[in-house]
Structure 1
Amino acid sequence: MSEPVIAPRNAFYGVAAVWVAALVIAVTLGIVLPEDLRIGWLLIAFGAMVLVSFAVQLAYGHAQGFIVRVAGSVLGALAVMGLVSAGFGLAALATGL
């Protein structure tokens, strides 16, 4: 007797989890750190998000679509962190006038 095929979990939740983590980390770093240290730590945090996206997608357990899921996680984290960084940069320009 064969085993029934179990429906795979939705891969979008893992991608969205990385985006949310990137948002939380970027906002936290933007609030906590002074302006001169912000960019360096955001780069380090983005590197950590790349590793987190690999870990999340490996934990998903399916090889099919792995590269697409990791790319979506990483590019989304880059976009989120870039937008947050741009927001803090514009805020710094507005307060510096």
Structure 2
Amino acid sequence: MGDNGRMADPVLAPRSPFVGLVVTWAVAAVGAILIGVVAPDDRLMTWYAIGFGICVLLSFAVQLFRGETRGFILRVSAGSLGALLVMGIVSAGFGIAALFGA
């Protein structure tokens, strides 16, 4: 018998990669809104940076929990980039509201 190369186990029921992304993006949206409402004005950007760091760690943990090795880095980076965009849009909304005195 010869070596036929490496064999991979077939994925029987792959999970959707979008669930982990949506979870990360939803946490980013809720976190950004909470930061915009609760954080003092002079420390706002510090708290947004901390919130984004938590979202990056959450994205990593969610994709690690998924257990799929293919596309791991792509999914983590997509979750992190999406969280950055969501938090940026929410913070821009709070900034515009602050300009108009709302």
Greater share of residues in helix = 1
Which residue number in structure 2 is paired with residue 31 of structure 1? 37
> Aligned partners of 1:80, 1:45: CA distance in 2, in Å?
12
TM-score w.r.t. structure 1 length? 0.90
Q: Does 1:90 align with 2:96?
A: yes
For residues 4-60 of structure 1, what are the alpha-carbon distances to aligned partners after superposition, in whole Å with 9 as ceiling and x for unaligned?
852111110001100000000000110111221111100011011111100000000
| Greater Rg over alpha carbons, structure | 2
The structure 1 segments of at least 4 consecutive aligned residues displaced by more than 4 Å after TM superposition are none
TM-score, scaled to structure 2: 0.86
Letter in 2 for 1:51: L
Match of residue 48, structure 2, among 33, 42, 46? 42
Cα distance in 2 between the residues matched to 1:78 and 1:35? 20
What amino acid sits opposite 2:65 in the alignment? A
Match of 1:6 among 9, 12, 30: 12
| Structure 1 residue aligned with 2:74 | 68
Determine helix, strand or coil for the equivalent of 2:101.
helix
Structure 1 unaligned spans of 5+: none
